[in-house]
Amino acid sequence: MERAAALPQSMRQEVMNRLAREWAQRAPQGFVDFLKAASDPASQAALARAGFRELGNRGGGDEYLAEALALPEGRAKEEAVTALFSGWSQVNLETSSHALDGMARGPLRDAAIAAFVSNAAEIDRAAALAWSLDIDDPQRRRATTRRQAQSWLRSDPAAATRWIEASEAMPGEWKAELLGER
């Protein structure tokens, strides 16, 4: 541990990320059990992020969502849930969106939606925008929706404009701002 502590921060982070990914690949339940038993769960946030992203990338989102939600409250839990959806939505939008439907509303679901939306936008911009409007936290909802809409407006202005104009969920003020920016 002393040698690891002597490494530069960026190198230490890369080593931890690699360790978490390998551990999640080779012994996923052991990885999860370690995080659950950690005496300082907050210090394990980076480990949780890298490992749960790997579990999601492997298509194990549905299998490991309950495990992520069972972690002790705090930063590691939020990182685990967010990373799981980030990885999971890259490999299966359908099952990850169904899981979002089943999650309790609140900050963890908001974080999961934001991660999901980033990947969904690559495949289905309309779905990504619709999901961004389902975030509970007003600031996060607005920022995520704005980011997704602006991106779509840059890549396909006609389709984005049609969707924004037709959206009943998007506030008129947001529509005016987005469409007035072009």
pLDDT above 70 (res 5): no
Per-residue H/E/C for 35-91: HHHCCCHHHHHHHHHHHHHHHHHCCCHHHHHHHHHCCCCCHHHHHHHHHHHHHHHHH
CB atoms within 10 A of CB 142: 17
165, part of any domain: no
Question: Which structural domain range is residue 15 located in?
Answer: 1-92
pLDDT above 50 (res 1): no
Count of structural domains within the chain? 1
**Residue position matching structure tokens 């080779």:** 26
110, part of any domain: no
pLDDT tens figures, 110-137: 999 999 999 999 899 999 999 999 999 9
